[in-house]
Amino acid sequence: MFNYIIDLFFPKVCAGCHSVLMTYESVLCTKCRHELPLTQYHLDPENEAVKKFYGKIAIEHASTFLYFNKKGIVQELIHNLKYKAQEEIGTVLGHWYAEDLKKLPLESPFHTIIPVPLHKRKFKERGYNQVTTFGKALAESLSIPYDDTILYRKTYTKTQSKKNLSGRSENIENIFDVRFSEEHHYKHFLIVDDVLTTGATLEACSRALLKIPGAKISIVCMAIAH
């Protein structure tokens, strides 16, 4: 009865279009789920996400789930996830995309999922890492560990979304580092992030992880700037 009263006065709304959700809907309404711009990059080994890293770092796989367009539904989702603490959005997208990733014909399976880390100061300001629920949902669905202790951010930087594309590439190279032991040698790490733009941040994360002997790198993001 209490939950009924709460829903009556504070109905749950769609994270995409803000319409009131039906009782059988969760986080996203049926209409928004059908309108999400899926990239299908997991079906294309030479997709645009992979091309971001050509000639920069060696990766085993790169893909993104959705296309990010200005003023589109995906921008709304990422904004609500990143700045309004609607972390359940990451959970929904993670479980959804995991079903696609299970079909990848990889020579080496993913061993550990690692989120792009926030600096301690940024984490304190926001209260959470917006990538956490996405990464944990992938880990749960793919039955592999999630570890946010190996990769860490040494330097505090301002929000990337407020910078232009060239600005996002500046001063990123040395802001990440790793803590590892022998058990991490020769592992295939899947780095996860929210939106892929220039790829500079993910390249820096990959270079840090490649300090681990025998490490292999793959990258998955919720969306790619399109």
What tens-digit pLDDT sequence spans the chain (226 residues)?
A: 555 444 544 689 999 998 999 988 999 999 999 999 999 999 999 999 999 999 999 999 999 999 999 999 999 999 999 999 999 999 999 999 999 999 999 988 999 999 999 999 999 999 999 999 999 999 999 999 999 999 999 988 765 555 555 554 556 778 999 999 999 999 999 999 999 999 999 999 999 999 999 999 999 999 999 8
In this predicted structure, what is the pLDDT of residue 36?
Answer: 97
Tell me, what DSSP letter sits at residue 117?
A: P
Strands 188-196 and 112-115, by their bridges, are parallel
Spatial distance between the Cα atoms of 76 and 72, rounded to a whole number of angstroms: 7
What's the angle, vertex CA 224, arms to CA 28 and CA 214, rounded to 5?
Answer: 115
User: DSSP per residue over 61-110, as a string?
Assistant: EEEEEEEE-TTSHHHHHHHHHHHS--THHHHHHHHHHHHHHTT---SS--
The pTM (predicted TM-score) of the whole model is 0.89
Using alpha carbons, list the distances in angstroms from residue 42 to 16, 144, 188.
24, 19, 17
